[in-house]
Amino acid sequence: MPAELRVNFHRDLKVIEDRVMRLFALVAEGLAAATDAFLSGDREAARAVVVRDKEIDTLYREIEGLVQHQFALQSPMAGDLRFLITVLRLVPELERSHDLAEHIAQAAARGIARELSPRMRGLVEEMGRVGHEMWREAADAFAEHNSDIHEHLDERDDEMNSLHTSLNAEIGSGALSLPVAMEMVLIARFYERLGDHAVNVAHRVRYLVLGEL
């Protein structure tokens, strides 16, 4: 590849990377905001998370278009090829993860948190904290090309799964009305899936750096 084309190519890769990092930030911020909105019943804060999802969708489409453009123009090799493949695999995880945060935020408008016991509220708050930390760590791993973070995030995911089990046990105690209990089962699942997606991202980063999952 001629020198000028290579300079332009790597400039375009940096643009893609910056947009992916923006997606990471939006997911982590969205999860934290959704948890706060849910527990406080703040409808305005919940609406802000929903509105932010439009930016997520726009970025998702832009990134996919930019990557496809590079494949059409260039013949990327080795690390550059792995980067583009990783991005194509990452952005759906990011988009789906913010969808889950959006679902949590939407429950704020229905005032579900008012019916929760202090124990349940504490578990939701803890799941939100762990999930937010996992996503911040996943973002750092992508930015720093840290292939070892997957082991740490696997451990954090075990913590999330334990919280999920504890929350489901509280939901199953019969203290909640059936409609609220059913919705809380979904919310607990959304947090658990957010942890899973963060782990998936870490494994994608491992592929980016080492060429293996």
Output the pLDDT for position 3: 56
Q: Is the pTM of this model over 0.85?
A: yes
Q: What pLDDT was estimated at residue 110?
A: 83
Number of domains in the chain: 1
Given its phi and psi angles, is residue 168 left (phi above 0), alpha (psi -120 to 50 degrees) or beta? alpha
List the domain range (segments joined by +) for residue 136: 3-210
- Report the CATH number that the domain containing residue 25 is assigned in CATH: 1.20.58.220
User: If you search the block for the tokens 């999920």, which residue do you land on?
Assistant: 164
User: Mean pLDDT in each 10-residue stretch from start to end of the chain (213 residues)?
Assistant: 62 89 94 95 91 90 88 72 89 94 90 91 97 95 90 94 96 89 96 96 89 66
- What end-to-end distance do the CA atoms of the chain give, in Å? 29
Quote the tokens at residue 53.
């999802």
Instruction: Please list, residue by residue across 20-36, b when 16 or more beta carbons sit within 10 angstroms of its beta carbon and e when fewer do.
Output: beebbebbbbbbbbbbb
User: pLDDT at position 80, please?
Assistant: 80
From residue 85, alpha-carbon distances to 43, 73, 81, 88 in Å are 38, 15, 6, 5
- The reported pLDDT for the residue numbered 4 is 58
**pLDDT in the model for residue 8:** 72
